[in-house]
């Protein structure tokens, strides 16, 4: 199924929740509204004509203009098509719905996005830091991140 057809199906079902798209590039993406992410993802996974049963990758992005994004790379092992979903949220309200109930793999990916960017995933079963120690301050992959000077008495940066 091509990206146009997928976009068409989604627009028919969710209307306003589809905020934008870019289809003429190598890997077309569809931007969705933050408050409909989980429903859209559940639909993409369960609908038999789309059948996106595999979440390849979930990345957080700091767009460097006051917004943060979460990018979902979806694929179907059955129908062999792929799509990219994007969710953009402003820095003041970094809340995105968690999709770990749809794909089990999102659990750890979302924890990593929270750890690195501070994006809060609502209804995540266990949102805590995964790669950094639990008492680390700050979210390192943000563009305006300043590393802390001391961690438990050890000098962190030179």
Question: What do you get for the CA distance between the two ends of the chain, in Å?
Answer: 52
Q: Pick from 3, 36, 41, 62 the residue near another protein by CB under 8 A.
A: 62
The 10 Å Cβ neighbour count of residue 155 is 8
Residue in this structure with the two tokens 């062999």, named with its chain if needed: 80
| 138 is an interface residue for another protein by CB under 8 A | no
The CA distance from 103 to 37, in Å, is 13
* Residue placing its CB nearer to another protein in the complex, 10 or 83: 83
Least distance from C-beta 12 to another protein, angstroms? 26
Least distance from C-beta 15 to another protein, angstroms? 26
**Total residues contacting another protein (rule CB under 8 A)?**
31
The 10 Å Cβ neighbour count of residue 51 is 17
* Residue placing its CB nearer to another protein in the complex, 40 or 106: 106
156, 136 Cβ separation under 8 angstroms: no
Least distance from C-beta 34 to another protein, angstroms? 20
* Sign of torsion over alpha carbons 119, 142, 90, 23: negative
| 80 is an interface residue for another protein by CB under 8 A | yes
**Positions in the binding site for another protein (CB under 8 A):** 25-27, 53-57, 59, 61-62, 64, 71, 73, 77, 80, 84, 103-105, 107-109, 116, 129-133, 140-141
């Amino acid at each position: 199924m091509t990206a146009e057809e997928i976009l068409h199906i989604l627009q028919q079902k969710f209307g306003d929740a589809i905020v934008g798209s870019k289809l003429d590039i190598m890997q077309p993406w569809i931007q969705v509204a933050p408050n409909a992410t989980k429903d859209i993802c559940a639909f993409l996974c369960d609908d038999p004509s789309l059948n996106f049963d595999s979440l390849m990758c979930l990345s957080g992005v700091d767009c460097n203009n006051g917004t943060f994004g979460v990018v979902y790379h979806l694929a179907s092992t059955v129908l062999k098509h792929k799509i990219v979903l994007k969710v953009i949220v402003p820095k003041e309200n970094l809340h995105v719905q968690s999709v770990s109930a749809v794909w089990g793999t999102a659990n750890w990916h979302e924890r990593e996005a929270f750890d690195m960017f501070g994006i809060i995933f609502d209804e995540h079963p266990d949102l805590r830091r995964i790669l950094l120690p639990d008492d680390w301050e700050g979210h390192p992959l943000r563009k305006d991140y300043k590393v802390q000077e001391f961690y438990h008495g050890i000098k962190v940066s030179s």
